[in-house]
């Protein structure tokens, strides 16, 4: 639920909803309506394409300049159910 995600990220529910909407509009996450909930999952293909673009255009082609310490590639999508219109 939005409240659980917001609490884990220490974000107000409205802020989280805004970010989920923007990530969805940018096609970095995909939302699937499941009754009163929306199940979001990461679009790793789009995220990887964004990283390639940013590495080429921001990091001068040197991925190590932009990679945070301990960066671990994510290979599996996780589902998160969010109650539509829910508040924390």
Average pLDDT over residues 46-52: 92
What is the reported pLDDT for 31? 85
Give SS3 for 34: strand
What is the spatial distance between Cα 22 and Cα 2, in angstroms, rounded to a whole number?
15
- Could you identify the residue written with the tokens 């990091």? 59
Average pLDDT over residues 47-51: 92
In the sheet that holds 37-42, the strands lie side by side as: 29-34, 37-42, 80-83
- CA dihedral for 79, 81, 87, 88, sign (positive or negative): negative
Task: Calculate the average pLDDT of the chain.
Answer: 76
What is the spatial distance between Cα 40 and Cα 30, in angstroms, rounded to a whole number?
5
What is the reported pLDDT for 2? 61
């Amino acid at each position: 639920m939005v409240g659980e995600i917001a609490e884990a990220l220490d974000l107000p529910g409205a802020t989280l909803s805004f970010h989920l909407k923007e990530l969805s509009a940018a096609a970095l996450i995909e939302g699937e309506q499941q009754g009163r909930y929306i199940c979001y999952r990461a679009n790793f293909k789009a995220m990887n394409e964004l990283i390639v673009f940013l590495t080429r255009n921001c990091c001068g082609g040197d991925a190590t300049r932009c990679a945070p310490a301990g960066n671990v590639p994510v290979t599996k999508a996780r589902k998160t159910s969010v109650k539509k219109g829910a508040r924390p």
